[in-house]
Amino acid sequence: MSHQSYVEEGFWYSKRLIDLEMVNHMLQFTRSISGLDDSDSDLVSNGLKQGFLSPCFLVKEPSIWPFLSYPKLISTIRNLIGPSIRFCHGGDILFAHRSGFPFHRDLWFDFSEPPSWDSGLKNFKFVRAITFFHEYRPITFGLYPGSHLVNSCSRKAIWIDVNPGDVVFFDPRLLHSGLACDFPKYGAILTFAFENKHAYDYHFYRQFVQIPDRYTPPSKSFVDFLSKLSLYSPSIMDLALQNFYRQQLAHISPAEPPQGYLYTHFNNRTACT
């Protein structure tokens, strides 16, 4: 049922998927490296306008690797898109980020035809998983069911109160949003996909265009960790593939949509038509 719903709706919501012990571990870790807690209200004075850690921070901290390989998380993703998933190198940790964001799609540069956001493609198998660690208060997360499919966004947006330990799994083509809150957000966004061209597009776009100054290659210990779980994609270290994408992406700037992110913004009251 979850697989079919994910295919048709573009998302799956699991309540209390991550136990509170892990949630608390991630909360304390995030607070310790951010230097913030709920009493910090002026993010600008702390230099945290973005509110994100390095997108590759997860790969450098063995103490939190059990989170990205959390068994219920991985089994749910395999149930949604299939068993042969791979961790998409990177991962974002979110902290002390009170602002909301408009409806958008998490898409990246794609120079092929048809592009990866064409819903007719059968091998576009991606899952973004977002969860939060803050204590006892939900984050309101919005989405348009079915908006990952071409010409299939006639339904109204729905809003989910995501509590600590809950996880929203969504197709990156799905229109989604988050409301602003009056307390810090602490959470993470992980990406998993089948190993194919679309996964390579995602990885190398991030490496060479989106976060070149913050990209961290996987260490041997991290490779070994993922490999034991059948979550590692060795192709990301292939020199020929790296050179191919480096050349293809050389003229792309992350500051220039639509050549960069290729996502479409919607404000919180706009229908996706």
Could you report the per-residue pLDDT of 68-119, keeping only the tens digit for each? 999 999 999 999 999 999 999 877 888 766 667 788 887 655 555 555 556 5
Residue 268 has pLDDT above 60, yes or no: no
pLDDT (mean) for 122-147 = 87
Task: Answer whether 53's CB lies under 8 Å from 31's CB.
Answer: no
Pick the most confident of 74-78, 175-179, 203-207.
Answer: 74-78
**Range 27-38 average pLDDT:** 77
Give the pLDDT of residue 14: 96
- Higher-pLDDT residue of 53 and 92 is 92
Q: pTM for this structure?
A: 0.86
Mean pLDDT of all residues in 242-250: 91
272 vs 161, which has greater pLDDT? Answer: 161
pLDDT band for 17, please (50, 70, 90 cuts): very high
Identify the weakest region by mean pLDDT among 28-42, 148-162, 240-254, 259-273.
259-273
The residue that leads in pLDDT, 233 or 55, is 233
Q: What Cα–Cα distance (Å) separates residue 24 from each residue in 10, 33, 60, 254? A: 29, 14, 20, 34
